[in-house]
């Protein structure tokens, strides 16, 4: 299997292209700043992952920015902190300002010359529009949880992806799914027979951060620690 053997790259966005963990930690400071005790970065992210995943199961049609407002409230309740609803809403609205990983725009611009680029993300369209500006590339298609009415790792999201890729003239064996999250992306990619590439952004950290532990680790066809490494490997594949 070679990187040059695919026609389209389908991307998770948050955690893969956008540094959502740094974005979350910064946007949660109005809440964590009120804590009477210090929580580690991973403790904050793991609590967030637990509440986010549970809420996505309970309200799969809720917009991501609105769902995050509920997550903020649940975290405040868990930590025993008073939080106004306006604070909760402000957190949900922060998604579009979360930073891109520094290598994402350049790598995407390079890969755009060789593949169709598609987003499959657990976000809403308004939030992604802000993120897309930071990524500095025009995607050939964008499929969000708002469009689909459910959140990854639901089968429905991957079925939607495959059906719509067919309309672009791309068949399943021509797709490489590129993502960081084992729980949201690689486990369902395995289930649906998609070739997959793990962008292991947390290679130098413990645990799974803002994503749920998947239990049994899914398999993957490629692994890189950054989007820059993926672009470099593609260049090497072309030369060979």
Q: Annotated catalytic residue: which of 12, 19, 124, 185?
A: 12
Furthest-apart CA atoms within the chain: distance in Å: 59
Q: Which residues contact 188 (CB under 8 A, 6 or more apart)?
A: 152, 153, 154, 155, 157, 158
| CB-neighbour burial class of residue 141 (10 A; exposed 0-12, middle 13-18, buried 19+) | middle
Would you say 184 and 12 are in contact if contact means Cβ atoms under 8 Å apart?
yes
Active-site annotation holds for 12: yes
Q: How far apart are CA 214 and CA 231, in angstroms?
A: 27
Helix count and strand count (H, E) for the chain: 11, 6
Q: Which helix (H) or strand (E) holds 111?
A: helix 104-111
For residue 156, the SS3 value is helix
Residue positions counted in the chain: 240
User: Which residues are known to be catalytic?
Assistant: 12
């Amino acid at each position: 299997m070679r990187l040059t053997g695919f026609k389209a790259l389908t991307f998770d966005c948050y955690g893969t292209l956008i540094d959502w963990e740094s974005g979350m930690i910064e946007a949660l400071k109005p809440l964590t700043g009120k804590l009477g005790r210090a929580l580690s970065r991973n403790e904050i992210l793991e609590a967030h992952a637990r509440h986010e995943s549970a809420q996505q199961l309970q309200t799969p049609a809720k917009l991501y920015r609105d769902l995050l407002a509920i997550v903020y409230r649940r975290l405040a309740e868990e930590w025993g902190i008073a939080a106004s609803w306006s604070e909760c809403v402000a957190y949900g609205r922060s998604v579009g300002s979360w930073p891109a990983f520094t290598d994402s725009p350049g790598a995407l611009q390079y890969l755009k010359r060789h593949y169709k680029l598609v987003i499959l993300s657990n976000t809403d369209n308004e939030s992604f529009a802000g993120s897309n500006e930071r990524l500095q590339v025009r995607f050939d298609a964008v499929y969000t949880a708002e469009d689909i009415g459910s959140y990854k790792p639901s089968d429905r999201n991957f079925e939607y992806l495959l059906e719509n890729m067919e309309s672009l003239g791309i068949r399943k064996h021509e797709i490489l799914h590129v993502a960081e999250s084992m729980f949201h992306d690689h486990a369902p990619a395995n289930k649906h027979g998609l070739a997959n590439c793990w962008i292991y952004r947390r290679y130098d950290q413990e645990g799974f951060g803002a994503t749920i532990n998947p239990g049994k680790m899914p398999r993957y066809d490629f692994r890189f620690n950054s989007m820059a490494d993926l672009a470099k490997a593609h260049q090497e594949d072309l030369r060979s």
